[in-house]
Amino acid sequence: MPTRRPIRELPPALRNQIAAGEVVERPASVLKELVENSLDARASRISVTLDRGGQGLVEVQDDGHGMGAEELELAVMRHATSKVATFEELLAVGSYGFRGEALASIASVSTFTIASSPDGESGHALEVVHGRLESSKPVAMQRGTRITVHELFTNVPARLKFLKTPATENRRCTEIFTRLALTRPEVDFRLESGGREVLRFLAGQTLRERLAVVWPPAVTEGLIQVHESAHGRRVYGLIGHPGSAQGRPDRILFAVNGRPVQDKLLLRAVRDAYSGRLLSREHPQVALFLELDPHEVDVNVHPAKAEVRFRDERAVFSLVRRAIVHGLEGSLPGAALGDRPLHTPAADSSSQDVAATSSAPDIPQEQRREPHAQPPERRSAALNEFSASYAGSLTTPEPPPFTRSAPPLTPPRSSQPERSQAPLPFAPAEVSSTEAPAVRDASHVGPGAAGRGFEYLGQVAATYLLLRLDHGGLAVLDQHAAHERVLFDKLRNAKDAGSRPLAVPMELPLHPSEAQRFMELAVELERLGFSLVSEGAKLSIHAVPGGLSPAKAREFLQSCLAERVDDLSAVWAMLSCRMALKAGEPLAPDEAMALLEAWAGCEDRDYCPHGRPVLISWSPDDLAKLFKRRG
């Protein structure tokens, strides 16, 4: 048994090392604290030099207001600061630093040198080694401050062994440097590593110009400007087009009153605004700046001040979400289908989340080659419901998105082309229609409609619709994703969905957790067309939505009650997926045209409710490049 030690006060050196464990995690933490001090000193030029990923050297030099000899000695003491003097000032702090512990913490775990000169006075320098003041002397230098940190953590081997490779630590330093530079476009930033200049941000650059230094042109050229304000709060910045989404969240920047932060509330607002436009594994590019009264945000909730707490979280969430939604909706005003920056294979090579939309498994090869070989009576019940009855089963506040005066959507058997001979070896056997008429101009169908129309060419693999765009381009549309979008919009806008009673009610076992979920969704499920009665440990299904088979209805309810969907949009997305056409279901030309016209009238027609692209297009130039006709 170890002997009991009495409670005693820790020595200053040990206190500083413990504090350094909270403030100084790695070289990037040192860089952050020193650059923030330079910004608080109103520097217009900041230069950072690194060696061995910052473990060997972190040097920050600025042209800020500087400090005299007396202030320098205070600066390396704990809890000494010029940023705040009262509790009221702490509540409304506007500076980056305010605790007065960063320099003392850094100096306790390194060889630390600070030299500074205020305007019109001589300079002075201090050297502190592992928390001990070694020297103090005058120096000749211009106005500003230079801080040099050598051999970080050499006196704390336990901390040193947790550092990564110099390349990894250098990358983290670069990320912190970049985030700070993006928030202060009026300041000149320079980063040197390994004896060469790595990054340079010139004073006066716009946000887009600064992002272009670190983000590829394919991303920055398509960035969308956003701006929204309400009740004294303001959010502005640039966001990426959904088509340029990426697999890692490393291009998301938030700044609150000029301070870079990593905030879960702001991230949730972004994800919510992009909902239905991105896959779950995709992340957008975001650089958003939030300005609000300092009294409405608490920055003193994290040792490194990387997180904040908002007084009115709901208002902030709503403002950020609204800014992004308005930016996405307004980025393509009134564009025709052929003019909109739709997806290309390169932009969406990662968008293969077919499982998320239940878009049917592999299609047998014989079915792919003969999409119209089966009798029309066996066509998908889902399409017939959509084409004939379901379009009128939802009562919407406005007229339905399309009305048809064309022949019935399921043509008689005689109208199907007979294949009297085998196709030629090079013939496009998968294209299933030969004399498909062009879809009429769809500009009358409402928001998002195509302004100049497009021509339907045929169906490929009983899954994709081939279109010729009005500017001569080519497009391929996923019939399942398009039908999902149509049904989702109907469900979202409907006041009451059609319902089909069951001759014999079905029963569904109900777990206690599912029973609670059912109580939460009961009203919405009834609006969608279900008639359900909870009877203890089971759920009786007396009616289902008009476009859903009993088996699919049962499957939907099981998923809906078990998966804990977050909101009604997820319920609508799940139901529209169950009701939509599946891959491998052949369509007659007029059925395909009816689907195209309905899809053209949808608000967010570029994406299915799960975020998969509906359409992939190639311009004439794209096609020429594919065939190597031009470079």
Nearest to 63 by CA among 147, 180, 142: 142
Rounded Cα distance, 208 and 378, in Å:
55
Q: Is the pLDDT of residue 444 over 80?
A: no
pLDDT band (50, 70, 90) for residue 101: confident
Q: What is the mean pLDDT of residues 436-455?
A: 41
What six digits make up the tokens of 44?
Answer: 């217009």
- Which is more confident, 384 or 215? 215
Q: What sign does the dihedral 422-424-425-427 (CA atoms) show?
A: negative
Greater model confidence, 538 or 279: 538
- Using only C-alpha atoms, the chain has a radius of gyration, in whole angstroms, of 32
The reported pLDDT for the residue numbered 136 is: 93
Cα gap 142→63, rounded to integer Å: 8
- E strand residue ranges, 20-69: 45-51, 57-62
369 CB-near residues (< 8 Å, 6+ apart):
429, 430
% of the chain exceeding 90 in pLDDT: 32
Nearest-angstrom CA–CA distance, 132 and 140: 24
For the segment 533-545, what is each residue's pLDDT rounded down to a tens digit? 888 788 899 998 8
* Residue bearing the bigger pLDDT, 5 or 174: 174
| Range with the largest mean pLDDT of 95-104, 206-215, 510-519, 575-584 | 206-215
Amino acid 251: pLDDT: 92
C-beta separation of 286 from 198 below 8 A: no
Residue 1 has pLDDT above 70, yes or no: no
Strand partners, 165: none
Residues facing residue 422 across a β-bridge: none
What confidence score (pLDDT) does residue 305 get?
62
Reading the block at residue 3, the tokens are: 């002997």
Window from 10-24, 243-257, 313-327 with minimum mean pLDDT: 10-24
Q: Residue 341: helix, strand or coil by DSSP? A: coil
**Cβ–Cβ < 8 Å for 64, 50:** no
Could you tell me the sign of the dihedral formed by the alpha carbons of 522, 526, 529, 535, in that order?
A: positive
- In this structure, are residues 215 and 199 in contact, taking their beta carbons and an 8 Å threshold? no
Q: For 464, phi and psi rounded to 5 degrees?
A: -120, 145
* Contact status, residue 35 vs residue 61, Cβ threshold 8 Å: no
Interval 107-112 mean pLDDT:
92
Q: Which pLDDT belongs to residue 338?
A: 40
Note whether 629 and 356 are within 8 A (CB). no
Give the residue, 361 or 181, on which the prediction is more confident.
181
CA distance 439 to 39: 60
**Residues 497-519, mean pLDDT to the nearest whole number:** 80
Instruction: Determine the pLDDT at residue 17.
Output: 56
62/67 Cα distance (integer angstroms): 12
From 90-94, 240-244, 295-299, the region with the lowest mean pLDDT: 90-94
* The two structure tokens encoding residue 1: 């048994």
Place of tokens 């067309």: 529
CB 474 within 8 A of CB 445: no
28-61 pLDDT tens trace: 999 999 999 999 999 999 999 999 999 999 999 9
Beta carbons within 8 Å of 215's beta carbon, 6+ residues apart: 251, 285
Per-residue pLDDT at 264 exceeds 80: yes
**pLDDT winner (highest mean) among 18-22, 81-85, 176-180:** 176-180
* Nearest Cα residue to 203 out of 329, 39, 376: 39
CB 296 within 8 A of CB 311: yes
Q: 131-185, pLDDT tens digit by residue?
A: 899 999 999 999 999 999 999 998 888 888 889 999 899 999 999 999 999 999 9
* pLDDT higher than 50, residue 302: yes
CA distance 526 to 547: 15
C-alpha–C-alpha distance, residues 363 and 584, integer Å: 6
Q: What residue type is assigned to position 196 of the chain?
A: R
Confidence of residue 630 (pLDDT cuts 50, 70, 90): confident
Name the pLDDT band for 304 (thresholds 50, 70, 90).
Answer: low
3-state secondary structure of 136: strand
- The token pair at 41 is 């000193």
Is the per-residue pLDDT at 388 higher than 60? Answer: no
- CA 442 to CA 455: how far, in whole Å? 11
Cβ atoms of residues 305 and 96 within 8 Å: yes
pLDDT-derived band at 203 (thresholds 50, 70, 90) equals: very high
**Is the pLDDT at 228 greater than 60, yes or no?**
yes
CA dist., res. 520 & res. 157, Å (int): 55
- In this predicted structure, the answer to whether residue 491 has a pLDDT above a threshold of 80 is no
Task: Label the pairing between strands 224-230 and 233-239.
Answer: antiparallel
Neighbours of 488 (CB within 10 A): 26
Q: Is 66 helix (H, G, I), strand (E, B) or coil?
A: coil
Nearest Cα neighbor of 408 from 601, 591, 148, 564 is 591
* Alpha carbons 541 and 506: distance in angstroms, whole number: 5
How would you classify the pairing of strands 188-193 and 45-51? parallel
Separation CA 259–CA 45 (nearest Å)? 18
Strands (E), 333-380: none
pLDDT, average across residues 90-103: 57
> What does the pLDDT read at residue 530?
85
Average pLDDT on 430-452 reads: 35
Cα separation, 575 vs 359, whole angstroms: 13
Q: What is the distance between the alpha carbons of residues 270 and 239, in angstroms, rounded to a whole number? A: 10
User: In the structure, what pLDDT confidence band is assigned to residue 23 with cuts at 50, 70 and 90?
Assistant: low
Identify which of 223-227, 370-374, 559-563 has the greatest average pLDDT.
Answer: 223-227
Q: What's residue 549's pLDDT?
A: 79
Mean pLDDT in residue range 567-593: 81
Under 8 Å between Cβ of 532 and 539: yes
pLDDT beyond 90 at 125: yes
Q: What is the mean pLDDT of residues 271-298?
A: 89
In degrees, to the nearest 5, what angle opens at C-alpha 201 toward C-alphas 200 and 204?
150
Q: 449-461 b/e with 16+ CB inside 10 Å = b?
A: bbbebbebbbbbb
99-104-108 Cα angle (round to 5): 145
Domains (ranges, CATH) in the chain? 12-201 (3.30.565.10), 207-330 (3.30.230.10), 354-406+430-490+581-626 (3.30.1540.20), 500-579 (3.30.1370.100)
- What is the distance between the alpha carbons of residues 85 and 95, in angstroms, rounded to a whole number? 13
Residue predicted with more confidence, 298 or 80: 298
Name every residue whose Cβ is closer than 8 Å to that of residue 29 and which is 6 or more positions away in sequence. 23, 304
The lowest-confidence range among 79-83, 229-233, 276-280, 327-331 is: 79-83
pLDDT of residue 322 exceeding 90, the answer is: yes
561 in helix, strand or coil? helix
Distance set, CA 98 to CA 34, 82, 101, 267 (Å): 13, 8, 8, 26
Rounded-to-integer distance, Cα 46 and Cα 380, Å: 66
Count CB atoms within 10 A of the CB of residue 52: 18
Mean of per-residue pLDDT scores for the chain:
76
CA 149 from centroid of its chain's CA atoms? 37
